[in-house]
Structure 1
Amino acid sequence: MKYRNKLVKYASFFLPALSLLICYPAHPCPAAQALDGRASTAGSAPANGQISIIPRPLKMERGEGEFVLSAETVILAAEGTESAAEFLAGRLAPATGFGFQVKPLTGSPERQNSIVLRIEPALNSLGPEGYSLQVLENRIMISASSPAGIFYGCQSLRQLLPPAIESREKMDNLRWSIPSLKIEDSPRFAWRGFMLDCSRTFQSVEYLKRNIDLLSLYKLNVFHLHLTDDQGWRVEIGRYPELTGIGARFPERWHKPGGFYTRAELAGLVDYAARRNVRIVPEIEMPGHSLAALACHPELSCSGGPFEIYPFFQGPGIQENIFCAGKEATFEFLENILKEVADIFPGEYIHIGGDEAPKAAWKKCPDCQARIRAAGLKDEEELQSYFIRRIEKVLMKYDRRLIGWDEILQGGLAPEATVMSWRGMEGGVAAAKAGHAVIMSPTSHCYLDYTHEETPVEKSYAFEPVPASLSPDKARHILGLQGNMWTHIATDEPAVDRQVFPREIALAEAAWTAPELRDWPDFSRRLAENLKRLDALGVGYYGKTP
């Protein structure tokens, strides 16, 4: 949890009445105001036949005529597109009441009244997530060089239909028309992420799945789960059942719920996300923000404990008790955990936090001081670098790459580390200049727990992840951007939704669309239509009329 910069910003939220102001804002965003002024409804086509796809596609040409879905429309799926075809049929069928049979595509796609999905190696130039979408009067064709591109083509097709298509109940007396057009599209960045804090407030598996659905709708492809922190340990570790037996629940006197995810639940979540082209990146915090682990294993601290977890605002925002870097038992413990985490999450990256690790305990700890002397380190900053480097070697042993918040730059960066820059852009710039991969996630534009007055949707939309100070050869190290939602203030799902939306949608376009194509007035118009889509999906957002 990035607390230091927030101590002054959020002091007022210690007062429950003021806390409600951030979760239940009184002033709607401009797009919501535009929505309120429109006569069109979720069941009608966009005003003036305008296209409202978000993120804005790279190239789009309008044609003449339209394609109309009917009970006879079939989906023809070439090899490698079956999963996307089933997904598309599942999204379109409830509202229309049509069956949408999925059939194998054999030979040339000449069948009338069909939606054709096929892999085209010739579209490699659009990259692995790019796609071509062509709507004719008698058929729709979605082509891409990979299944990921096919999936995103299906999501764009979905957004060409009225928002009422999102209903899970049959909508009568609607004409499901799609304007004739041709789109060629591909993303600017490979990393288009969103982080949800599951430690401060435990989130249900169903809520996580709904977030994955929304990420995929707006072509975001990374779901970063903040699974451990001072307020709770949320991932089942078979070797250490006490982590969830003790570390996942507050002491009874706090009267606050806790919870954790079983290995089976997380494996199911990984599969659910993968079928929607979303990869899950788990975060296991170290060496700081580790009170939930130390409450179970106080012997891995410098002082020996005892410790217990507490709700946020009921204790220090930054806990001085952190993992002891001088004890070999600490690294053995963390390796055992990371091995199991790597078994659960098959993706390339594991996030290890690395932020806000006070050095006071290390300065007083005989074991840490002995480690500094034995390793020839200069000070505690270099001891943190030593700690991170050792953890990186553990992750490489299990064929994983390390990501950390920008404090991992302190004392020297681990050789293959990826930096997630949150305290402004400076850490990311320094890492990119040193040849390291970077994800830009500064508080100024990307922290969705900040108030909408402080970070309005227009500001998030304007975020440019590549600083002008980087030369082209260094700018290539910027993998993309990420929005972050910490749940210490907004602590229930509707409140979290109101913080996240519509800013997450603005960041989605900032991550996908080329800078020269981004235009706030045009985005604001498209966003107004997409808020109707959120209405149909039952998703709350800032400024929504109760």
Structure 2
Amino acid sequence: MKKLFSLALALSVGAAVFAQEKKDATLNIVPLPQQVQIKNGTFKINANTKIAFDSEEDKKVATLFQDFLKSNYNLNLSVVKSASSNTIYFSSKNAKSTNAEAYELNISSDRATISGKAAGLFYGMQSLIQLLPVDKKASIEIQQASIQDEPRFAYRGLHLDVGRHFFPVEFVKKYIDILASYKLNTFHWHLTDDQGWRIEIKSHPKLTQIGGYRKQTLLGNYKTDGDYDNTPYGGFYTQDQIKEVVAYAKAKYVTVIPEIEMPGHALAALSAYPELGCGDKPGPYTAAQTWGVFDDVFCAGKEETFKLLEDVIDEVIPLFPSEYIHIGGDECPKTKWKTCPFCQKRIKDNNLKDEHELQSYFIQRMEKYINSKGKRIIGWDEILEGGLAPNATVMSWRGDQGAIDAANQGHDVIITANSYGLYFDHKQGPDQNREPLSIGGLSTLSKVYSSDPMPSKIAENNKKHVLGVQANIWTEYIGSSNKVEFTVLPRVLALSEIAWTQPEKKNWKNFSEQRAANQLAKLDQTNTFYRVPEVYGITDTTVYASEYTIRGLKPSVEGAKIYYTLDNYDPSELDLEYTGPVKITVPNSKERVFKAVVVTPSGKRSNYIRVNIINTKK
């Protein structure tokens, strides 16, 4: 696992920041730091360099850096207690900020000093790692500089749905490494859904024994009469494995928030305990084999429902030290509640107006129970329906109206709206024929980067309730760990910057063409999958001309090459290499098609960009 962490730590790029001494110099750090001063000269790391620390907590971070250099640069440096010259010094006693995630990084000719407390020291290490060269055969020299940095938002999250498809523990750890490499601090673990229950509950073993498995899975795009693979599918995490993941995340200063869906998305649970469905004779149920929203939900009128969910919460809470438990609350059809005698009795007995207020009753009742255990709840924005639970935090996914309403009511909110490009299961390019199978939608790297997760319609005095931002990965159409990586990278770079960096400091051209390109060059050296962005400098377009020159193209990955064709065939490294302007002459009444593709040193390819040049003269 140490190697996986090393690989993930190598996922690092930089921030272009201009300073007095070297106005054209840049630093390769993502997310962009708040303040940077670049100085003349470099600090050389060699076999005689020492890694020093103050406290035992500092030593943990110092040792992580030692492991990184050993794994990635074949350099084994000693870790010592005291600092001297030719030293990389991790220091908590020199931390100036009261923000536990803030850090300072000062690099002189003979020392690099990282100052910060806890997570701040770890983030300072990440920035230092990002300053190391792409070429691991070269001598290690890093730019002298002074950095003061802290995050814009306290909550910086990435979500993973393991209900639709299940992913092994080792991959979940690698996923956490990716978060930590870019200073994200929250892993939202979606553990239950209609298609599978993925967390062991010892008091109710059938939740995983039965609910953890489905008979088969839909093939291809969603269709009501679709084809299936006729293959049983499933899996779950034992409580020991959950503890292992949570401990691993803690060492990387990542908080794990579990999600236990209720009252909807409950088919897997109902397949195990059908008596918790609506009506006198509910069921039978099976874990869903396809995607979508299902009418079968937990019965809100039966006490047995709340007893099981309280038992689940009793076992979940000791596993997760997080302040929050996510209880879902989204996409809960009221169809069965409308005809269920138990639900209707609950509505009458509690003087509720309708089924929407019954959902509010359900959420508020579970919130009180979770609060009594010392935890708070997060729910998707549907928990606003029928009246919001008093201490709930709202995760706004259907646009930002839920966030606006909740914040203006004084509730904490987290922005995770698909309209902001924060659904990473959406395709990354507009042409579905050039993208892997996905649920649809469009979330490009530039769309994510251009987002500002602070809705303008929230009253100024309520903006403090916006805790931060999160991207989601729903896995209906993501069945492998490789595809998860492909959907996350490189969009997680943009996510990290909108979560950490003040918006006025962002610069798309610098981010995409330099810093992300540098980051992807490092990533290209690892065994991690990522989507290669298309060539920069042109877009899919049609031009009417007898002569046209293609110029100013740049590869999206540092060290990659651009290849092109003029015959409408898809380009590869077997075709012409772009090294400068290409002049294209088109005969009368003819057309030429210029296609360009980025090919990385490891052989990964981008989608092509296409320019049709049409001469309409006869």
* TM-score between both structures, scaled by the size of structure 2: 0.77
Shift of residue 122, structure 1, vs aligned partner: 5.5
CA distance in 1, matches of 2:378, 2:332: 16
Q: Tell me the secondary structure at the aligned position of residue 318 of structure 2.
A: helix
Amino acid at match of 1:509: E
Retained in 2: the 8 A contact 1:254–1:311? no
Q: Tell me the secondary structure at the aligned position of residue 420 of structure 1.
A: strand
Q: Deviations over 1:6-40 (max 9, x none)?
A: xxxxxxxxxxxxxxxxxxxxxxxxxxxxx9xxxxx
| Counterpart residue number, 1:13 | none
1:350 to 314, 318, 325: 325
Structure with bigger RCO (C-alpha 8 Å, 6+ apart): 1
Shift of residue 124, structure 1, vs aligned partner: 2.3
Point out where structure 1 has 5 or more consecutive residues left out of the alignment.
Answer: 1-34, 36-47, 165-170
Amino acid at match of 2:242: L
Q: Counterparts of 1:253-292 in structure 2 under 5 Å?
A: 254-292=230-268
Amino acid at match of 1:102: V
Point out where structure 2 has 5 or more consecutive residues left out of the alignment.
Answer: 1-12, 14-23, 217-228, 430-441, 534-603, 606-618
CA distance in 2, matches of 1:418, 1:104: 43
Retained in 1: the 8 A contact 2:173–2:245? yes
Retained in 1: the 8 A contact 2:54–2:93? no
| Counterpart residue number, 1:24 | none
Amino acid at match of 2:251: R
CA distance in 2, matches of 1:449, 1:61: 38
CA distance in 2, matches of 1:337, 1:163: 47
2:416 to 441, 466, 470: 441
2:72 aligned with 1:95: yes
Shift of residue 471, structure 1, vs aligned partner: 2.4
Retained in 2: the 8 A contact 1:228–1:284? yes
CA distance in 1, matches of 2:364, 2:134: 49
| Counterpart residue number, 2:462 | 474
CA distance in 1, matches of 2:340, 2:349: 14
Q: Deviations over 1:116-171 (max 9, x none)?
A: 1111475225x110100001111110001x2110000000000000235xxxxxx5
CA distance in 2, matches of 1:121, 1:473: 34
| Counterpart residue number, 1:56 | 32
Question: Closer, same or farther in 2 for the Cα pair 1:121/1:330, shift >3 Å?
Answer: farther
| Counterpart residue number, 1:104 | 81
CA distance in 1, matches of 2:476, 2:156: 24
2:126 aligned with 1:155: yes
Query: Which structure has greater strand proportion?
Result: 2
Q: Deviations over 1:62-97 (max 9, x none)?
A: 112111111111111111312111111111112222
CA distance in 2, matches of 1:507, 1:312: 30
Q: Counterparts of 1:416-495 in structure 2 under 5 Å?
A: 416-444=391-419, 445-453=421-429, 454-495=442-483
Amino acid at match of 1:229: D
| Counterpart residue number, 2:560 | none
Amino acid at match of 2:287: I
Retained in 1: the 8 A contact 2:257–2:326? yes
Q: Tell me the secondary structure at the aligned position of residue 476 of structure 1.
A: helix
| Counterpart residue number, 1:530 | 519
Q: Counterparts of 1:19-418 in structure 2 under 5 Å?
A: 50-79=26-55, 80-105=57-82, 109=83, 111-120=84-93, 123-125=96-98, 127-144=99-116, 146-163=117-134, 171=136, 173-251=137-215, 254-303=230-279, 304-313=282-291, 317-418=292-393
Number of residues of Structure 1 aligned to a counterpart in Structure 2: 484
Moved over 6 A (4+): none
CA distance in 1, matches of 2:333, 2:519: 43
Shift of residue 98, structure 1, vs aligned partner: 2.1
Shift of residue 196, structure 1, vs aligned partner: 0.5
Amino acid at match of 1:529: N
Q: Determine which structure has more spread, i.e. the larger CA radius of gyration.
A: 2
Q: Deviations over 1:447-499 (max 9, x none)?
A: 01111122211010111111112222101100000000011012112222222
CA distance in 2, matches of 1:358, 1:210: 36
CA distance in 2, matches of 1:183, 1:356: 45
| Counterpart residue number, 2:226 | none
| Counterpart residue number, 2:540 | none
| Counterpart residue number, 2:581 | none
Q: Tell me the secondary structure at the aligned position of residue 32 of structure 2.
A: coil
CA distance in 2, matches of 1:95, 1:330: 52
Q: Tell me the secondary structure at the aligned position of residue 363 of structure 2.
A: helix
CA distance in 2, matches of 1:424, 1:337: 31
* TM-score between both structures, scaled by the size of structure 1: 0.86
CA distance in 1, matches of 2:139, 2:94: 35
CA distance in 1, matches of 2:522, 2:306: 48
CA distance in 2, matches of 1:99, 1:203: 33
Query: Which structure has greater helix proportion?
Result: 1
CA distance in 1, matches of 2:460, 2:79: 45
How well do the aligned residues superpose, as a CA RMSD in angstroms? 1.5
2:505 aligned with 1:517: yes
CA distance in 1, matches of 2:443, 2:74: 41
Amino acid at match of 1:311: Q
Q: Tell me the secondary structure at the aligned position of residue 456 of structure 2.
A: coil
| Counterpart residue number, 1:498 | 486
Retained in 1: the 8 A contact 2:25–2:38? no
Q: Tell me the secondary structure at the aligned position of residue 403 of structure 1.
A: strand
CA distance in 2, matches of 1:254, 1:307: 18
Retained in 2: the 8 A contact 1:200–1:311? no
